[in-house]
Structures are given as C-alpha cells and as structure tokens.
Amino acid sequence: MGVAFNGMESLVVTFQAETATAGQFAAMQENDTVQDAADGAAPVGLILNLRGGHAAVQVRGYAQTAYSGTGAPVLGWNQLVADGAGGLRLAADGETGRTCLVVNLDSGSKTMGLFL
C-alpha cells in the first residue's frame, strides 16, 4: 500500500493579486490582496493559479516545496517563513513564521512535503 496526502483537507481560496506568481508562496499585501512572499514573511499559502487579477491560493492541505537556509527543517512541526525565492526556510529568532507539519524531507534535492 502506498502513501498519498494530495487533496487531504485542502482549502483553496481566491484573493486579489497584482504582483503574484503561480508556484510561489503568498503573503498579505493589503485587504483581500496577496503578493509573492518576501524573505522572512509568514506564508499565507501557495499560489496555484492566476487569472484576471486574482490568485487561487492553497491555504490548507498538503504541499511540496523547496527549502533553503543554513538549517534544515525536521520531520514534525516547524516554524517556517518564505525564503523570497518561492520556497520556505526555518524562521529565525524574531521572525513570526507559520507552524507546518513536515512529513517528508529530501536533503539531496532540498525539498519537503508538508501540511499547511
């Protein structure tokens, strides 16, 4: 039997988006509007699609992404922030991150699977 997490408890919502990129993590820009998350920003979710000035953002559920930084996430609960390059990294002292459950890590490709 295989393991599958895709689709489990997923929630995708629509925000306004002027400066957003599909495949990047989003951060709040202003009321009802997201943008690509800058380095150190707490991620709202993963931008899945853009159309007509709006973004479909996955705010809950399983996602796979790259990670960066000097310290690698661990399996289990981690405080994560955007790395400014589309992935995530561990929150540094003084940064407010998002608590996510990391369920798989690939240190060779520096990717992880996590629940938002």
What are 15-65's pLDDT values in tens digits? Answer: 999 889 999 999 999 999 999 999 999 999 999 999 999 999 999 999 999
Mean of the per-residue pLDDT values for the chain? 94
Residue 113 pLDDT > 90: yes
Nearest to 78 by CA among 101, 57, 96: 101
Structure tokens at 114: 């996590």
Nearest to 111 by CA among 71, 73, 58: 73
Residue 50 near residue 39 (C-beta atoms within 8 A): no
Q: How far apart are CA 89 and CA 32, in angstroms?
A: 25
